[in-house]
Structure 1
Amino acid sequence: MQRFRWWQVPGRALFHLRLIGVDGELTEYAVDLRHWGNQSSGETKAHLYREGRHHAQSTIPAAFGVEGGTIEVSMSNFGMKRCHYVTDGGVERQLIPDPRSAEGRRARLDRNHPSLSRGIGAVAVIMLLIGVVLLALQLAEPISQIPPVAERIGPWESPLHLPLWLNITLGVGAALASMERALRLRFSWLDTLGN
């Protein structure tokens, strides 16, 4: 497995898992994803390494069978959605991000500066909520002008008309908020709607 390099921060995710097998031996796994590096075929692939050697690969979403369970991996348009180990009994835990990766750096910020981390998380949620409200308002007006809908409820005009620059700024803010949430593997319906 290749070492994580600083220039790979925007395009690579690397997660680690240590498992103790039934024989008491410690086994180290790593899940390596190249967000942009393997897009030529149009599909992103996850690579599973066992003790530093390539063990398996799969297109995303992926499920790798390992001792006592499965490693589940999925992505959103903005980054990681899920990278968890799920035991055969249904207990799940998130894999540990490599400290040099973007996800690892975000986890370190959370550990070292929890108040700042919570503040950034709150701003991200607010930006996504703004994105959802704007999307709803912008979709409601043209939908209300469809003849059958207009006959039933009447045409509706949005009370909010933002200048183009503000619309673009809020859209970029919602995208950045989704990226921040992806760094913490906090994906929800809000991320889908906000963008």
Structure 2
Amino acid sequence: MDNQELDQWVDRLIAGDEAAFDHVYQLTRTKLYGTVASLVHNREDVNDIVSEIYYQLWRALPSYDRKRPFLFWLNGLVIKQVSNWRRQVWRRFRLLEKRTRLHEEPDASLPGDALMVTETQRDMQQAISRLPFKLRTVILYRFYYEYTYEQIAELLQIPVGTVKSRNHLAIKQLRKWVDLKQVEEGLCEHVHREENKRVASEPN
């Protein structure tokens, strides 16, 4: 992604050039889609969340501070929308649990894929997907975006010490599931490789 080109189109969009939105979308969609897909396993939910993020981008753009990196600001919208989705999933899960106790049939529209535990595999992709959401989020922004601990703390609105602790716990857990060398040398490469895989399945 060419950040300079992105900034130019963002400036034009802020200035009122609505056609610039398509260029901003094209320059950010691959990375944004890959980010959401790493946090949310249900593909249908991923598409809905990405659509909502771009809708919120359009609405929130007037409040964007040009002194801050645009992609970092955009990831703030990602975290907000994924968090909203998780709350919705939890409410639906509680509803399903209640219905089960009442011996009712579960709603077929419930996102079962998002609640299933991934089977134990040595593949790095599966290992990362098995991490708890809070640990997976830190790993994603640490290795996929190469954000500093301080940037991640600001993005997630948690203390820097908490970010470091979650990063440590995530690496420690991955070492239990996959080869140590894969974790220490291949994690960053793996995440970028997964981005390329998702591009092929990404909606136009």
The TM-score normalised by the length of structure 1 is 0.23
Question: Going by fraction, where is helix more abundant, 1 or 2?
Answer: 2
Question: Going by fraction, where is strand more abundant, 1 or 2?
Answer: 1
Which of structures 1 and 2 has the larger relative contact order (alpha carbons within 8 angstroms, sep 6+)? 2
The TM-score normalised by the length of structure 2 is 0.22
Higher Cα Rg, which structure? 1
